[in-house]
Amino acid sequence: MIAIVDYGMGNLHSVSKAVERLGREARVTSSREEILAADGVILPGVGAFGDAMRNLRETGLDAVVRESAAAGQPLLGICLGMQLLFAESEEHGTHEGLGLLPGRVVRFRGDYKVPHMGWNELNFEQPSHPLFEGLAPGHVYFVHSYHALPERREDLLATADYHQPVTAIVGRDNVSGMQFHPEKSGDLGVSLLRRFVETAEGGKA
């Protein structure tokens, strides 16, 4: 079972349907017991970083997500959910994140269109990573005005080009994140989501 964390901000329906189309059970839940009993955990997110962290704290789900990561459960953050994995964000002020990955989230700066919206090709920074086994780089769908700057180069698994290299996939041990929406990103997005689910099926790390 894949638990999809329901903290009031997220593309819950589309993510759960994408997991179900892979032939797996998806459960949208805010229950600590269900989340910690799951084979894998997905943290979705749409909206502002500060609002998301406030909702997580008010429901106690910030502690549950950290507990899940510490227990070795495969954890995937999607879009805003990926940004929440980092230490802090500058979106509408400075906000503390979950701190599961070192780094910060900043706004795009430059004389170009923001938000970054549309299909961009992934560049696999670590092509031998198990997540990419058997896959070729392709296009995935982004919608975001802020992007993550990981402190550790080894946490950066894939980038996309939007006037600069943009963090697209991050990962360390059992914690990973995708800035784009895999459930809206065609065959490559589905394949990457399948890789995560297969990791979860392999048992907790």
Query: Mind telling me the catalytic residues?
Result: 79, 181, 183
- In terms of Cβ atoms closer than 10 Å to its own Cβ (0-12, 13-18, 19+), residue 176 is buried
Longest alpha-carbon distance in the chain? 47
Q: Which stretches does DSSP call E strand in 44-163?
A: 75-78, 86-89, 95-96, 101-107, 116-124, 139-144, 146-150, 156-161
Contact of 104 with 90, CB cutoff 8 Å: yes
- Do the strands 139-144 and 146-150 form a parallel or antiparallel pair, or are they unpaired? unpaired
Q: H or E segment at 40?
A: strand 40-43
Q: Is 47 left (phi over 0), alpha (psi -120 to 50) or beta?
A: left
Contact of 197 with 25, CB cutoff 8 Å: no
